[in-house]
Amino acid sequence: MKQIRTFLFTEAFRHFSPEGSAIDSVTRDAMKELLGGKGAGLAEMGASGVNVPPGLTITTTTCHEYYDQGGRLPDGLMEQVREKLAVVEGQLSRRLGDPSAPLLLSVRSGAKFSMPGMMDTILNLGLNDETVLGLAALSDTPEHRRFAWDSYRRFIQMFGNVVLDIEKEAFEHELSAVKAHAQVKLDSELGAEDFVSVVDRYKRLVREKTGGDFPQDTSEQLAMAIEAVFRSWNNPRAIFYRDLNKIDHDLGTAVTVQSMVFGNLDDKSGTGVCFTRNPATGARELYGEYLTRAQGEDVVAGIRTPRKIAELAQEMPAVNAELLETIARLEHHYRDLQDIEFTIEQGRLYILQTRSGKRNATSAVRVAVEMAQEGIITREEAIGRVDPRDLIQLLLPSFDIKAKARAKDDGRLLATGLNASPGAAIGEIVFDPDTAAERGARGDKVILVREETCPDDIHGMVPAQGIVTARGGMTSHAAVVARGMGKPCVAGCETFKIDVHARTLSVAGKVFRDGDVISIDGATGEIFAGSIDTAEIAGSEHLDLLLSWADELQGLGVRANADTPEDARLARDFGAVGIGLCRTEHMFMAQERLAVMQRMILADDKASRQAALDELLPMQRADFVGIFEAMDGLPVTIRLLDPPLHEFLPRLEELIEEVATLKAAIKYKRSGGRKAGSSNSTSKAPKLEVQLAERQALLAKVRDLSESNPMMGRRGCRLGLVDAEINVMQVRAIFEAACDVQSRGARVLPEIMIPLVGHVNELAFARAVLEKTALEVMSERGVNVEYKFGTMIEVPRAALTADEIAQHAEFFSFGTNDLTQMTFGFSRDDAEGKFLNHYLEGIDVLGEKKRVLKDNPFAQLDVGGVGKLMRLAADGGRSVRPGIKLGICGEHGGDPASIAFAYELGLNYVSCSPYRVPIARLAAAQARLSGGQRDR
């Protein structure tokens, strides 16, 4: 039986819905799986009565065959394509390659998930030296002749770049030469004879670059174009985009072959892109742009600055009315914000594509909430519509209003472009993506400034703080990509004069160079010289409402990692239901406390050590008072001192160098050495000797404490058992603070967490000592505090023996950072820079690049390994203590995929940094909505 590799748009929908009835989300997803998002959308639109140019789709499974056969089109594919194309030709009374009635085609990619601009497109396919004359002869007007030759030069340039791999700049150079000869600036000012000259130049360029003539056989053109689109699935920018957005590399792309309609035909023709709601703000308003006498790539490529869609009502009122009716129907049908591409040919509207529109977090939240309020979707669907990872965009800074006003008054406003993507960004100017990527990797804050961006620039757009383009509009590549990433972008800033070779930017009578600082406001399109102060995050009423709906569904609490009263208050403001990790070591890092801490570490006897601890006690107590007050009525999990003591001391290498320098200085002084004009050089020697003695004592202590593998050495509970007085001081400070705060009417719920336990006796012995201290303090103060003792599960042995450990633990908190480190045997501090990046990007295996790991296990929980240990620990703990409280306090607590696993495992809570609390709240609700089985 012949394998079906192609579907006409009309038959594709019937394949999935034989009765022609509306389809559900599962069927729609299956359509996208086979036909790609573009092909599925065209099939469904056509079935619903929308005016769609006819065409066919080649399936994603054919893409798999192409790669399985080593990059060769499957046998029989082109026969199927020609068979389906004959139906299209019959519908339109045009034929591919027929000079008397030429059919022109677009050949486009279309994966299951939208990847705007990442793969390749060819337009006007079917033109050659004969069909261009036939196309021109369809009308005897000079205007039509110009249109035909303009289309032919566009086809040669696009085919030459995409299929023949000739750089775009080479074609632009030839076009610029013709414009210079004609003494015009814009493509639209060229006439038919000018384009004939351009075509001649382009064909000569193809011959020079490839050694052969531009293909004249239209069937050959079609086969080459289809192969090029399949090939583009694995181009570098597409791979980078899929990695960035966690899209499966094995999905493949479909290819859509569609009859062309022409927006560059005359003044009643045009092309545009519009969104049914504003993708930057979410407002319920038509948003988009169009150009007359243009083809689709002109709008998004940034070559010309387009016109706002609102102007279409004045220029073509009938077309505008039809467009409004059509897009309303499409949004209602798909029940989501739609991104629609359209072409107008001599006053007739055609819809070329509709898909769920890319949007930033602000828009995603508002659209989801308002569509639920309008009854288009349910609250549960609204919760599922927002990617939790994108919520961080709502925490992007804006400029302080007064600081911005002062900048204007000071004459620092350089220009105002299009407000393509909101947010404020400050950084140093860079003019190319390679430099942006290089400096971004060093941690530099940069603003990428370009004439316009293209998909090849994506590796420089990712690390940039913001993006500025001199050309292009609200739906240009820069705008769409920046909005998707949540980066500020100002587009179409036409007063910018950029000299890429000199690396300068001229604007407002000033010249800026690589490395100069500018500030951009993506919400207003304003660009300023120098930096401007930013304001605190204002929040979003739509987000608050969405999260309140999410909280109603949660089966998983969300706590925060917070070490200070300020962090605790922020966490509570973000909706945290407690603190899941308070790291006490951070409280000792302040300069005045560090000196006391070092004195405690360097003490030669217990009395001296206890004196230092007594000095630290009120400092610790004050910290806990502030945290308990901020978290009134909510649990606070406090991890006792975890790192090794040498981390509070100077580094060994620095001390060795310092001691050597002091010895050299003393030797020089003793030798009578003096500088011109100095007093007796030996007078300072005694002071230097005192400093030397102090540093040598410190060096000896650091050497004594140093370990070959400190992460697995004398730290955590091991330190607490050997030097118990340190943890005793901490527990006393915790309970004194708890008693003080509770005596003032607040409710305090401390949870004492003993870290790095690997053996039940470590926890049993430590708890016995520390609980005795807690009881003593409560007895002294006459206050009873509700408390718990527990441990972190971060050592594999603890997970394996959790049933024993749970006899002495009232809660487990999975320290997934260290548990991942010890399970893999990876050093967190070294792995990512030394080998983990290669594991994730791919290593050479017999000439083929293969990835060892799909995801970074320090960013997304390794369910297959670390997750198995967690399940063992959870089951073991529940087997002896059914009500044991279980949570995660590693950074995985803010990762949506890891949260989904935590829900499945039946954990009580996850804990993450305060700014990730909204992300975790939404992800926890989505985990419940996913319907996964939950352990108990």
Exactly one of 63, 454, 477, 912 is catalytic; name it. 477
680-714 burial code (b ≥16 CB/10 A, e <16): eeeeebeebeeebeebeebbebbeebeeeeeebee
Q: How far is CA 61 from CA 11, 15, 31, 243, in A?
A: 18, 16, 12, 21
Whether the Cβ atoms of residue 912 and residue 558 lie closer than 8 Å to each other: yes
**Separation CA 323–CA 317 (nearest Å):** 10
Task: Report which of 247, 330, 278, 276 is spatially closest to residue 32, judged by C-alpha positions.
Answer: 247
For residue 161, give the H/E element and its range.
helix 142-162
| Rounded Cα–Cα distance for residues 92 and 467 (Å) | 44
Is 458 in contact with 480 (CB distance < 8 Å)?
no
596-618 in b/e form (b: 16+ CB < 10 A) is bbbbbbbbeeeeebeebbeebee
Residue 369 host element (H or E): helix 361-373
In angstroms, the CA 427 to CA 432 distance is 14
Residue 847 CB partners (closer than 8 Å, separation 6+): none
501 is catalytic: no
Instruction: State residue 311 phi and psi, 5-degree precision.
Output: -70, -15
Query: What's phi and psi for 578, nearest 5 deg?
Result: 150, 180
Determine which helix (DSSP H) or strand (DSSP E) holds 842, and give its type and residue range.
Answer: none
Beginning with the edge strand found earlier in the chain, give each strand of the sheet holding 510-513 in spatial order.
497-499, 504-507, 510-513
Strands 504-507 and 497-499 turn out to be antiparallel
Helix (H, G, I), strand (E, B) or coil at 368: helix
Alpha-carbon torsion, ordered 586, 587, 589, 594, to 10 deg:
-140
- Cα dihedral angle (69, 71, 73, 74), rounded to 10 degrees? 10
For residue 235, what are the CA distances in angstroms to 57, 242, 455, 458, 877? 21, 11, 11, 12, 49
Strand-pair category, 635-639 with 55-58: unpaired
* Cβ(917)–Cβ(575) below 8 Å: yes
889 catalytic residue (yes or no)? yes
Burial class of 195 by CB neighbour count within 10 A (0 to 12, 13 to 18, 19+): buried
Length of the chain: 936
Residue whose token pair is 């499945």: 904
Cα(131)–Cα(534) distance, integer angstroms: 59
Quick check: 257 and 63 in contact, CB under 8 A? no
CB 397 within 8 A of CB 537: yes
* Per-residue DSSP letter, 744: T
Cα angle 929-934-936, degrees, rounded to a multiple of 5 = 145
Active-site position among 493, 889, 892, 912: 889
φ/ψ of residue 97, rounded to 5: 85, 0
Tokens (6 digits) for 313: 């009502």
Buried b (16+ CB within 10 A) or exposed e, 231-241: bbbbbebbbbb
Structure tokens at 367: 């659209």
Active site members: 477, 889
